Amino acid sequence: MIRILPLLLLVIPAFAQSGTSTTTPSVQAQGSASIPVQPDQAQLTVSISTNGTTAQDAGQQNATLAQVVIAALTKVIGAKGALETISYNVSPRYSNATATQPTIVGYTATLSELLTLNDTTLIGEAIDAANQAGATSVGSLTLGLQNPEPSMEAALSAAAKQALARASSIASGLGGKTGPVISAQQATAYTPILVASSAGAAPTSVQPGPISVSATVTVVVQLQ
């Protein structure tokens, strides 16, 4: 019995190791899809700048003009949009003299408001209202989606179907067929687009184009 025991210890690991060497045959394929979606949201930046001899003077003028511009925009957008202050600063203006220490000749106050519109048909009217009310600049117009999730899900579904179809073609070419999905990876992309508006004589015209919502799916399926 004492001599047989070492032999048994050597044989048992040999059987255990032989059961872990199997690998499931599989194929990998990738599918992609891009869906054009009409934008239903717009954002633009409205800036108001005023000059004064003192910082207080510049700020007071800015506050007065801002009230006029904001009131004009609020009248246009109603409940279909929102205004949010994104920046405000008061900075000195210097003389153009070439002296080592240029002198302060006044101050400039600048307020920037982010306008969000949930009705893209109001873009041109909002731009005109801001300009006519005294806004210094209106720009950085971007078009996007209020809720991109449904479009992303549709793109993912189409990409997944393409990936599975390609995996089936690969398996057929190898003389087999596809089995269950072993793993799947996905990626989506949605980028709001920047638009150059034709600001000039009123009314301003903006014609939103479609936004591309894209997705990629990579699958690994069992090869039978």
pTM, to two decimals = 0.75
Percentage of the chain beyond pLDDT 90 is 74
Chain region(s) in the chain for CATH 3.30.70.2970: 41-144
3-state secondary structure of 145: coil
The answer to whether domain 23-37+148-223 has CATH 3.40.50.10800 is no
Domain 41-144 class in CATH: alpha beta
Tens-digit pLDDT profile for residues 115-144: 999 999 999 999 999 999 999 999 889 999
Q: Could you give phi then psi for residue 164, rounded to 5 degrees? A: -65, -40
State how far the Cα of 1 lies from the Cα of 21, in Å rounded to an integer: 33
Q: Cα 120 to chain center, whole Å?
A: 18
Tens-digit pLDDT profile for residues 78-120: 999 999 999 999 999 988 756 677 888 999 999 999 999 999 9
For position 135, what pLDDT does the model report?
Answer: 96
For position 95, what pLDDT does the model report?
Answer: 85
State how far the Cα of 113 lies from the Cα of 47, in Å rounded to an integer: 6
Chain region(s) in the chain for CATH 3.30.110.170: 23-37+148-223
* β-strand partners of 91: 108
